[in-house]
Chains A and B, each alone.
Chain A
Amino acid sequence: MKKITRFVGISLLSLLSLPALASLNIFATVPEWGALAKEIGGDKVSIYTATTALQDPHRIEAKPSLLAQARRAQLVVANGAALEIGWLRLVVRDSGNSAIQSGQPGYFEAASQVAMREVPQVLDRANGDVHAAGNPHIHLDPRNILRVGEALTARMGELDAANAEAYRANFTAFASKWQAAIVRWENEAASLRGVPVLVHHSSFVYLSAWLGLKEQGKLEPKPGVEPSSGHLSALLERQKSTPARMVLRAAYQSDGPSLWIAGKAGIPAVLLPFTVGGTVEAGNLFGLFDDTIQRLLKANR
């Protein structure tokens, strides 16, 4: 009995001491911001990413594992713009962690650092699952990554002053590499300008705006509403007069609707990683954009 008590005591103590290993515990809601925090933080931070690229970020629940991680976090890096509205507020509130409450330095939202697209003029759920703040999938414009990175670097430095210099140096190095990559991507993707495409959900608004893709239709009749056969047939009919070159979907979206329309219209159905981890090649932020552009170019040939 004594042994058991000692064992339990030691394991409890070791559990308690775990968060002390890294200097800054970061809870990132989605993979792209986890990856960006990693670029800035390097080995000075410990990052928990709450979701994967294969999960629909709108459909996450306040799982016990998320509560446990939020409890130990010093910084929550959220996307914002109501992307995590279903679960993050609940997790943050129930975590009992005063550092990460909304309004505290330990709560960071990426979307408030960039200019939003598709901000609805009318807020009515008859229009589907609209986000009042605008389309939340901001990360697929690489220039937004820089803007968010700059603010995140400042925030991480504020929370962990001892490593602020290291964060700034990491970000400066990342930013110059990233700017060079943007130029390269823009050159590579020049032939994509004006290419008409169909998309499953409005996941690629920022990507399309950056590369000049022309989004001609969405497989979802309304945001968040499942593609219906009637809507898909109408899209196919439109294909005759204004043909799209390809149909895009994110790794977490079901392939059925885009494969159907691709088969009928004789155009390629393109799976895009959408975020870090969405494909094998999209292992980090650079890989995410490299792979996205390669896949688009391949489909456009």
Chain B
Amino acid sequence: MSHKPFALAALLAASCTAQAAPDADLAAIRSQINEIKQSYEQRIAALEQKLAQAESKATKAETTATKAETTASKAEVVANEARLNVRQPQTSASAFNPEISLILSGNYTNLKQNPSERRLQGFIPSGGELMPEGRSFNLGESELVIAANIDPMFRGTLRLALAPDNTLGVEEASVQTLGLGNGFNLKAGRFLSGVGYLNEQHPHEWDFSNAPLPYQAFFGNRLGMDGVQARWLAPTPIFLEFGAETARAMSFPATDESKSKNGLMSASAFVHLGGDLDVSNSWRGGISYFASQPKDREYEDPLNGLNNSFSGSSRTWIADLLWKWAPNGNAKQTNLKLQGEYFSRTESGDLIYDTATTAQQGNFRSTQSGFYAQAVYQFMPNWRVGYRYDRLSSGSANFELINNGALPAAALPLLASYSPSRNTAMVDWSPSEYSRVRLQYSQDKSRPEATDHQIWLQYVMSMGAHGAHKF
């Protein structure tokens, strides 16, 4: 601010001097201005030169930058290729860890009848759990599955079941061939038999919370085997598969578990046929046969408290049919699954009546059958409803000692003819492939004197390795 008055004063003084100045002074001023002009011109020229230099430098920098960019993009391409070519190195031995998955389940049940009084009238107890086992809160089986390819030839699977009573069971421990070729597959160890459709599925894969009545009555829920299985897939455009097993059968109706003998014990054979009707409809059907020679197979008749024992032959036939529909074959939105199996078993041999005291022995023969049919419909993503009908027919047992009058007609009260049946409805919700919560209601008429009403609320969850989408 203080400069302004000073500048004004200087201007005033200069103009006063100019007025009084002679020509000589004017010439001096001119030469001075010229000097100033020259010096400015020199400076401008110098500046221009500097500018030009800077400009050329900038261009050079730009060229360098472009080059760098090109190099960078080339490097990126090289890096991408390198990433493709160089596989992730195996950093440690644990890289070969097998696939591990764990299945957790549990339920809350509300039962009208006491589960300990439950029985399938007309049928010899199969020893399998007649689920549900208890009322209120129950922990289900926790399954731990470890599987891996052993080498290019074999694959191994171990499936442990941790029961809620803190016992550990080996559900499956098997090795199978990998691409033996020509459609052959061999399996050895402990596995679930390939008979029927549902038999090979584990409880967490079931569409209902419990096994169908025929599976409960004929196999004690499912037929397990310690032995070998051979399968052959025919090279035909339609699915045609043959299978045979020979094994120590680990379930009812066999008693192989306690047998001590060389050679063959139980055996089974099955054939499966299947295909697509069109893009929306797929199906699979099969016929299976299982033969066993139970020896001293004892059961307690809950109605008179006596123990009886059977030895002889047991032959079971199964026919199964599965039909799946999904619009355009896309099961994500809606789909329908229809499934049914029919069982027929004939046992003939000798029955020892009341093994504890009189132990009377006579010829015994019975033919029993049963079926279930079910429909499960996914009406929107994540939600399904299902209905199942099960029915068994006990037929009448043909016992020599009753026929000839040695024993009264009511000597085998558990085997008195009856047709157990059951209606089951369910709705389940699966927020993802790995979790499911199910509400199920059953009206169970497995014995004549009482109808049971069973309500289940169940969860089934899996974690770890991605499960297989079986058909």
A65 touching B275 in the complex, CB below 8 Å, given contacts A59-B330, A254-B333? yes
Given contacts A64-B284, A114-B84, A254-B381, 19 further A-B contacts (CB under 8 A): A52-B279, A55-B329, A56-B330, A59-B332, A62-B469, A63-B324, A64-B272, A64-B283, A65-B275, A71-B233, A72-B235, A87-B469, A90-B469, A93-B176, A93-B178, A96-B233, A125-B432, A225-B431, A252-B328
Contacts of B234 in A (CB 8 A): 15, 71
Contacts of A65 in B (CB 8 A): 238-239, 274-276, 282
Pairs across A and B, CB under 8 Å, 6 listed: A55-B328, A67-B241, A86-B433, A98-B180, A103-B152, A128-B432
A54 touching B466 in the complex, CB below 8 Å, given contacts A64-B282, A98-B179? no
Give the docked Cα–Cα distance between A103 and B61 (Å): 52
Does A100 sit at the interface, judged by CB under 8 A? yes
The 7 A-B residue pairs whose C-beta atoms are closest, nearest first, are A64-B274, A64-B239, A98-B179, A98-B181, A86-B469, A96-B183, A101-B179
Give the docked Cα–Cα distance between A92 and B181 (Å): 11
Does B184 sit at the interface, judged by CB under 8 A? yes
The listed residue (A16, A63, A99, A113) touching B282 by CB distance below 8 A is: A63
Structural contact, B80 and A115, CB atoms closer than 8 A: yes
Does A89 sit at the interface, judged by CB under 8 A? yes
B330 to chain A, nearest CB (A): 5
Contacts of B470 in A (CB 8 A): 61-62, 90
| Interface residues as binary, A96-114 with B (CB distance below 8 Å gives 1, 0 otherwise) | 1111110110000000011
| Interface residues as binary, B446-471 with A (CB distance below 8 Å gives 1, 0 otherwise) | 00000000000000000100111111
Structural contact, A71 and B183, CB atoms closer than 8 A: yes
Contacts of B33 in A (CB 8 A): none
Contacts of A16 in B (CB 8 A): 235-236
Does B240 sit at the interface, judged by CB under 8 A? yes
Contacts of B282 in A (CB 8 A): 63-65
Does A60 sit at the interface, judged by CB under 8 A? yes
Give the docked Cα–Cα distance between A72 and B238 (Å): 11
| Interface residues as binary, A214-225 with B (CB distance below 8 Å gives 1, 0 otherwise) | 000000000011
Give the docked Cα–Cα distance between A261 and B291 (Å): 61
Give the docked Cα–Cα distance between A97 and B332 (Å): 29
A19 touching B235 in the complex, CB below 8 Å, given contacts A68-B240, A96-B179, A225-B432? yes
A215 to chain B, nearest CB (A): 21
Give the docked Cα–Cα distance between A98 and B182 (Å): 7
Residues of A within 8 A of B (CB): 12, 15-16, 18-19, 51-52, 54-56, 59-65, 67-69, 71-72, 82, 85-87, 89-90, 92-101, 103-104, 113-115, 125, 128-129, 224-226, 252, 254
Structural contact, A96 and B469, CB atoms closer than 8 A: no
The listed residue (A72, A96, A115) touching B181 by CB distance below 8 A is: A96
Structural contact, B468 and A68, CB atoms closer than 8 A: no
Structural contact, A86 and B279, CB atoms closer than 8 A: no
Give the docked Cα–Cα distance between A280 and B130 (Å): 54
Contacts of B179 in A (CB 8 A): 92-93, 95-101, 104
Does B185 sit at the interface, judged by CB under 8 A? yes
Give the docked Cα–Cα distance between A72 and B239 (Å): 11
Does B355 sit at the interface, judged by CB under 8 A? no
| Interface residues as binary, B310-354 with A (CB distance below 8 Å gives 1, 0 otherwise) | 000000000000001000111111000000000000000000000
Closest to A70 in B: B233
Residues 132 to 181 of chain B near chain A (Cβ within 8 Å): 152, 155, 176, 178-181
The listed residue (B180, B239, B433) touching A67 by CB distance below 8 A is: B239
Does B305 sit at the interface, judged by CB under 8 A? no
Give the docked Cα–Cα distance between A54 and B278 (Å): 14
Contacts of A12 in B (CB 8 A): 236
B347 to chain A, nearest CB (A): 33
Structural contact, A224 and B432, CB atoms closer than 8 A: yes
Closest to A93 in B: B178
Contacts of A52 in B (CB 8 A): 279, 328-329
Does B22 sit at the interface, judged by CB under 8 A? no
Contacts of B83 in A (CB 8 A): 115
The listed residue (B232, B332, B467) touching A96 by CB distance below 8 A is: B232
The listed residue (A51, A68, A94, A103) touching B236 by CB distance below 8 A is: A68
The listed residue (A61, A72, A96, A101) touching B471 by CB distance below 8 A is: A61
Interface centre among A59, A64, A92, A115 (most CB of B within 10 A): A64
Closest to A82 in B: B466
A89 touching B231 in the complex, CB below 8 Å, given contacts A64-B272, A115-B80? no
Does B382 sit at the interface, judged by CB under 8 A? yes
Contacts of A61 in B (CB 8 A): 324, 331, 469-471
Contacts of B206 in A (CB 8 A): none
Does B237 sit at the interface, judged by CB under 8 A? yes
Give the docked Cα–Cα distance between A92 and B328 (Å): 24
Structural contact, A129 and B433, CB atoms closer than 8 A: yes
B252 to chain A, nearest CB (A): 28
Structural contact, B468 and A89, CB atoms closer than 8 A: yes
B286 to chain A, nearest CB (A): 10
Contacts of A87 in B (CB 8 A): 468-469
Contacts of B274 in A (CB 8 A): 63-65, 68
Structural contact, B182 and A96, CB atoms closer than 8 A: yes
Closest to B273 in A: A64
A129 touching B432 in the complex, CB below 8 Å, given contacts A15-B237, A65-B276, A97-B183? yes
Contacts of A98 in B (CB 8 A): 179-182
Does B434 sit at the interface, judged by CB under 8 A? yes
Contacts of B469 in A (CB 8 A): 59-62, 86-87, 90
Contacts of B238 in A (CB 8 A): 15, 65, 68
Contacts of A92 in B (CB 8 A): 179
Structural contact, A64 and B329, CB atoms closer than 8 A: no
Give the docked Cα–Cα distance between A64 and B241 (Å): 9
